[in-house]
Structure 1
């Protein structure tokens, strides 16, 4: 066993010389064996070993006896020992968490505090090859994404250093034999035999069947996990670059937007990961009911032939397709009152629109007209003039049009994105006649009498 672990540690560069290594010890075979292994070989790496143990207060006297067992072992072997008693039940109720999640959070909080206190380089944990198999199988049964299909990492950053798991290369059987060789009788947690827990069910019923076909399955699974991790790391880096170059984020409004065609040009594997990076950016915490179904809906929307469509994600996140764009936005931030406006336009004078653009009016004889200007005689309209956003039933007419047309249909014809339609400025006279759908269509005043002063309007877009 020792040769296998030494090779594994060297292969993954898990321990550097002169390091301080904290060991999470529960009193069970895995963690006691790891503590003994590192302590026995401390001179090999010139390391300082410290044992950490916690009482979760979940098994009454038994869990307290576990902690005392570890304390006695450490006194016997001359290993520094730090412990704490954690009120998991109170923390669980206060934060509305499951027991396992609450226990894990408190435990790792304690570990982090001790890492800082000792300025430690490593936190060593006793997960082994069988744990890895169980984790991968559990992930397979509940995940529909290769991104989520992952096992226990050999090494990951944590607090002041790294979490390391030197025993992922060996099995529970190897560890139990090691304990017998060093004449240690570890503590037994009876809850490990309760098959109502998913992991215990896999351990008791599934793992033995797999090992009948391949007794070395732990090595195979560990290799699979490492190669998947390497592949996923590369794809995530590529997806991150894709998001940086294609997606526009607005922190103020908490929205994300991208052009559909450029997004679709990237490989589907990157599109999928880019979607999840966008969601991670927008959500403070990913909703528990966010699933692969939403991913499928997103791709249906992305590749839909409909010019305008939308889908709803959890927690009021809307994903809208508007012609050549996709926009992610939260519906609770869409306040119709904030997007509408109505102001008088004095002559001479100007109105600053919510987006910072300006419509100005003056009296002169400059009749030059283009897309951002509009002019008419004062006798042709009912003053004062108004600038407002659209209202239900709005219609306008112009030269060459037989009758009138709905503003809604004009927006569709001009391919105006859905999110801009409710904020689009419209010039009307005091009778409500639409004179100018600013920047899009110019109407003809119903009164043809060309008398009075010439009114010249100018639209200046925001910088």
Structure 2
């Protein structure tokens, strides 16, 4: 099957792109994103897609970005697609938020892409993640101790507006396609910088595994991600149903800056372990807290065997009051660190 036909199937299938959709295309100038741009342009007529190209200067590589900008701008002009260059000071943002450069770049990039999408009325944002990126991501998440959901990798469509049409296409296929069509692209020197964990996985760990353990390691990782992703769909449905049975919310919704959530202990105890963990993760996300592994275990222990009228102190001022019939999650002093016990604790519980 030709690559163009494959991408068309991915768009109308897993990416769920409707005819006439507006798509903001994130193009860095590298081979993956340049292939994405030209492939989308090729299949845009049958789907009547409305494309907009966005190029972002992260202000990290001043010697390389002018060439990248020119390459993307010329391609957009040739394809008759609007070109919108943007800038973001990633280093300053990383320092202010205490993020890594990778984390800061990702946060700013997606925020800017969504801002552009809103401004031009586009429903979707297309990024150039490939099958190779998926394999790397699964390994990265494994190294960081991710659970089943994390090991399912990236989705073809996620967040409601983000699509990854190249996620089942290998980088070598894209490079061959670019060469056959004489399409220029740039090389990002930061992709070889071993201080970034992803680059060490790409250039050291994966080649080592391929040579010494499993020649088909990439395909093995992709199969694992696909299998776990299918399981995730069912588990997410079961988690949503379980949450309706064991979670209660107090407050006035959006009108209440810090609503309270209750976790009903008795029905929670009857849930399977996998659903217990997922319900707590969902609860913490819903109330705006971090849902890390240690906090999930603390809440589980409190729900299953916690002493009545005790409490947990979680991050950013989140308090968990432990009562006979429920756990109550609230921000008594707002979302900020503070010391002290919950006010009027003995007025609750039985």
TM-score normalized by the length of structure 2: 0.81
Select which of 32, 39, 49 maps to 1:30.
32
Structure-2 residue corresponding to 1:117: 119
Higher share of residues assigned strand: 1
Higher relative CO (Cα under 8 Å, sequence separation at least 6) belongs to 2
The secondary structure found in structure 2 opposite 1:109 is: helix
Structure-1 residue corresponding to 2:86: 84
1:52·1:81 contact (CA, 8 Å) conserved in 2? yes
The secondary structure found in structure 1 opposite 2:327 is: strand
Q: CA deviation at 1:93?
A: 4.4
Matched, 1:196 2:195: yes
What stretches of structure 1 of length at least 5 have no aligned partner?
340-417, 425-463
CA gap of 1:209–1:329, structure 2 versus 1, over 3 A, is same
Structure-1 residue corresponding to 2:301: 300
Higher share of residues assigned helix: 2
Select which of 256, 263, 277 maps to 2:261.
256
Q: 2:159 and 2:304 mapped to 1: Cα distance? A: 39
| Bigger Rg over Cα | 1
Deviations 1:380-411 (A, max 9, x none): xxxxxxxxxxxxxxxxxxxxxxxxxxxxxxxx
Q: 1:309 and 1:183 mapped to 2: Cα distance? A: 68
Q: 2:277 and 2:220 mapped to 1: Cα distance? A: 28
1:42·1:48 contact (CA, 8 Å) conserved in 2? yes
1:57·1:64 contact (CA, 8 Å) conserved in 2? no
Structure-1 residue corresponding to 2:148: 146
Deviations 1:61-117 (A, max 9, x none): 311221112112223343332212223334444555433333333322332233233
Q: 1:262 and 1:194 mapped to 2: Cα distance? A: 50
The secondary structure found in structure 2 opposite 1:57 is: coil
Q: CA deviation at 1:30?
A: 0.5
The secondary structure found in structure 1 opposite 2:84 is: strand
Q: 1:169 and 1:59 mapped to 2: Cα distance? A: 30
Structure-1 residue corresponding to 2:166: 167
Select which of 265, 277, 280 maps to 1:275.
280
Structure-2 residue corresponding to 1:231: 231
1:259·1:324 contact (CA, 8 Å) conserved in 2? yes
Structure-1 residue corresponding to 2:108: 106
CA gap of 1:146–1:419, structure 2 versus 1, over 3 A, is farther
Select which of 385, 404, 419 maps to 2:346.
419
Structure-2 residue corresponding to 1:66: 68
Q: CA deviation at 1:182?
A: 1.5
Q: 2:23 and 2:236 mapped to 1: Cα distance? A: 31
TM-score normalized by the length of structure 1: 0.63
CA gap of 1:274–1:196, structure 2 versus 1, over 3 A, is same
Q: CA deviation at 1:37?
A: 1.6
Structure-2 residue corresponding to 1:207: 206
Q: 2:146 and 2:89 mapped to 1: Cα distance? A: 35
Q: CA deviation at 1:278?
A: 2.2
CA gap of 1:248–1:84, structure 2 versus 1, over 3 A, is closer
Q: 1:309 and 1:91 mapped to 2: Cα distance? A: 39
Q: CA deviation at 1:141?
A: 1.1
Q: CA deviation at 1:330?
A: 5.0
Q: CA deviation at 1:292?
A: 1.9
Deviations 1:204-223 (A, max 9, x none): 11222444566655555445
Q: 1:79 and 1:215 mapped to 2: Cα distance? A: 41
Q: CA deviation at 1:148?
A: 3.8
Q: 2:53 and 2:237 mapped to 1: Cα distance? A: 37
Q: CA deviation at 1:256?
A: 3.5
Structure-1 residue corresponding to 2:271: 266
Matched, 1:44 2:46: yes
Structure-2 residue corresponding to 1:244: 244
Q: CA deviation at 1:170?
A: 1.4
The secondary structure found in structure 1 opposite 2:148 is: coil
2:149·2:228 contact (CA, 8 Å) conserved in 1? no
Q: 2:279 and 2:59 mapped to 1: Cα distance? A: 42
Give 1:297-446 correspondences, 5 Å limit.
Answer: 297-304=298-305, 310-329=311-330, 339=344, 419-420=346-347
